[in-house]
Amino acid sequence: MLSKRLKLIRNRRGLTQTGLAHKVKTTKGTISNYENGHSTPSNEMLRDLADALDTTTDYLLGRTDIDTNVSRTVSYSESDFETDPDLQIAFREASDFSEENRKQAIDFINYLKEKEKAKGRKIPNSSDE
Protein backbone atom coordinates (compact mmCIF):
# COMPACT_ATOMS: atom_id res chain seq x y z
CA MET A 1 0.00 0.00 0.00
CA LEU A 2 2.68 2.47 0.95
CA SER A 3 4.69 1.47 -2.07
CA LYS A 4 1.93 2.38 -4.54
CA ARG A 5 1.09 5.60 -2.78
CA LEU A 6 4.67 6.71 -2.59
CA LYS A 7 5.35 6.15 -6.25
CA LEU A 8 2.06 7.79 -7.21
CA ILE A 9 2.54 10.97 -5.29
CA ARG A 10 6.21 11.25 -6.12
CA ASN A 11 5.33 11.29 -9.80
CA ARG A 12 2.45 13.63 -9.10
CA ARG A 13 4.96 16.01 -7.57
CA GLY A 14 7.22 15.69 -10.58
CA LEU A 15 10.13 14.23 -8.66
CA THR A 16 12.57 11.51 -9.63
CA GLN A 17 13.66 8.87 -7.15
CA THR A 18 17.01 10.57 -7.02
CA GLY A 19 15.41 13.94 -6.39
CA LEU A 20 13.23 12.65 -3.60
CA ALA A 21 16.15 10.73 -2.13
CA HIS A 22 18.13 13.92 -1.94
CA LYS A 23 15.35 15.74 -0.17
CA VAL A 24 15.07 13.15 2.56
CA LYS A 25 18.77 12.42 2.71
CA THR A 26 18.96 8.88 1.49
CA THR A 27 19.83 7.11 -1.75
CA LYS A 28 17.75 6.35 -4.81
CA GLY A 29 18.17 2.64 -4.07
CA THR A 30 16.37 3.04 -0.78
CA ILE A 31 13.51 4.95 -2.38
CA SER A 32 13.28 2.25 -5.01
CA ASN A 33 13.11 -0.37 -2.27
CA TYR A 34 10.18 1.45 -0.69
CA GLU A 35 8.35 1.72 -3.98
CA ASN A 36 8.84 -1.92 -4.77
CA GLY A 37 7.97 -3.19 -1.34
CA HIS A 38 11.40 -4.55 -0.55
CA SER A 39 11.56 -2.52 2.59
CA THR A 40 9.51 0.04 4.48
CA PRO A 41 10.60 3.43 5.80
CA SER A 42 11.18 4.04 9.47
CA ASN A 43 8.77 6.32 11.25
CA GLU A 44 11.19 9.17 11.00
CA MET A 45 11.65 8.65 7.30
CA LEU A 46 7.91 8.36 6.88
CA ARG A 47 7.53 11.79 8.41
CA ASP A 48 10.25 13.22 6.22
CA LEU A 49 8.67 11.73 3.13
CA ALA A 50 5.31 13.24 3.99
CA ASP A 51 6.99 16.60 4.49
CA ALA A 52 8.98 16.43 1.27
CA LEU A 53 5.93 15.37 -0.73
CA ASP A 54 3.56 17.74 1.02
CA THR A 55 1.18 14.99 2.01
CA THR A 56 0.28 13.08 5.18
CA THR A 57 1.54 9.86 6.69
CA ASP A 58 -2.05 8.67 6.79
CA TYR A 59 -2.19 9.04 3.04
CA LEU A 60 1.12 7.26 2.52
CA LEU A 61 -0.05 4.44 4.76
CA GLY A 62 -3.41 4.24 3.04
CA ARG A 63 -5.55 5.37 5.95
CA THR A 64 -7.03 8.23 3.97
CA ASP A 65 -7.48 9.07 0.32
CA ILE A 66 -6.75 12.74 0.75
CA ASP A 67 -3.33 13.34 -0.69
CA THR A 68 -3.03 16.96 0.28
CA ASN A 69 -1.61 18.27 3.47
CA VAL A 70 -4.74 20.07 4.68
CA SER A 71 -4.76 18.75 8.23
CA ARG A 72 -1.32 20.08 8.85
CA THR A 73 -1.27 22.19 11.97
CA VAL A 74 2.13 21.65 13.41
CA SER A 75 2.79 24.03 16.24
CA TYR A 76 5.91 25.56 14.81
CA SER A 77 4.61 26.24 11.35
CA GLU A 78 2.71 29.34 10.43
CA SER A 79 -0.10 29.08 8.00
CA ASP A 80 0.69 32.32 6.24
CA PHE A 81 3.89 31.84 4.35
CA GLU A 82 5.55 29.21 2.26
CA THR A 83 8.21 27.32 4.12
CA ASP A 84 11.23 25.48 2.88
CA PRO A 85 10.39 21.76 3.34
CA ASP A 86 14.01 20.98 4.11
CA LEU A 87 13.94 23.56 6.84
CA GLN A 88 10.77 22.04 8.25
CA ILE A 89 12.38 18.65 8.38
CA ALA A 90 15.45 20.05 10.05
CA PHE A 91 13.45 21.78 12.74
CA ARG A 92 11.25 18.83 13.43
CA GLU A 93 14.41 16.90 14.10
CA ALA A 94 15.84 19.68 16.20
CA SER A 95 12.81 19.65 18.46
CA ASP A 96 13.80 16.16 19.54
CA PHE A 97 17.35 17.16 20.34
CA SER A 98 18.78 17.29 23.80
CA GLU A 99 18.56 20.64 25.52
CA GLU A 100 22.21 21.29 24.86
CA ASN A 101 22.06 20.65 21.13
CA ARG A 102 18.81 22.55 20.79
CA LYS A 103 20.47 25.55 22.35
CA GLN A 104 23.36 25.22 19.93
CA ALA A 105 20.96 25.16 17.02
CA ILE A 106 19.22 28.29 18.27
CA ASP A 107 22.50 30.06 18.86
CA PHE A 108 23.64 29.29 15.36
CA ILE A 109 20.40 30.61 13.90
CA ASN A 110 20.82 33.79 15.86
CA TYR A 111 24.32 34.11 14.57
CA LEU A 112 23.06 33.75 11.02
CA LYS A 113 20.43 36.33 11.73
CA GLU A 114 23.07 38.83 12.72
CA LYS A 115 24.91 38.03 9.55
CA GLU A 116 21.79 38.70 7.50
CA LYS A 117 21.33 42.01 9.21
CA ALA A 118 24.94 43.01 8.72
CA LYS A 119 24.68 42.34 5.05
CA GLY A 120 22.34 45.26 4.97
CA ARG A 121 18.72 45.12 4.04
CA LYS A 122 18.88 43.46 0.69
CA ILE A 123 15.97 42.19 -1.28
CA PRO A 124 16.45 38.48 -1.77
CA ASN A 125 17.67 37.81 -5.27
CA SER A 126 16.36 34.42 -6.27
CA SER A 127 18.86 33.95 -9.04
CA ASP A 128 20.32 30.81 -7.56
CA GLU A 129 19.40 27.12 -7.78
Residues between 55 and 84 that touch DNA (CB under 7 A): none
Site string for DNA, 103-122 (x = CB under 7 A): ------------------x-
For residue 17, what are the contacts with CB-CB under 8 A and spacing of at least 6?
A: 10, 28, 31, 32, 35
Residue pair 17/28 in contact by the 8 Å Cβ criterion: yes
Tell me if residue 13 falls in helix, strand or coil: coil
Give the residue, chosen from 46, 49, 52, 53, that forms a contact with a second copy under the rule CB under 8 A.
46
What CA–CA distance (Å, rounded) separates 127 from 35?
A: 34
For residue 68, what are the contacts with CB-CB under 8 A and spacing of at least 6?
A: 54, 55
**Binding segment toward DNA, per CB under 7 A, in 36-44, 53-61, 62-70, 85-93:** 36-44
Task: Find the radius of gyration of the CA atoms of the chain.
Answer: 17
Give the residue, chosen from 8, 13, 26, 91, that forms a contact with DNA under the rule CB under 7 A.
26
List residues near a second copy by CB under 8 A.
1-2, 25, 40-43, 46-47, 50-51, 56-58, 61-66, 70-79, 81, 83-84, 86-88, 90-102, 104-106, 108-110, 112-113, 115-116, 119, 124, 126, 128-129
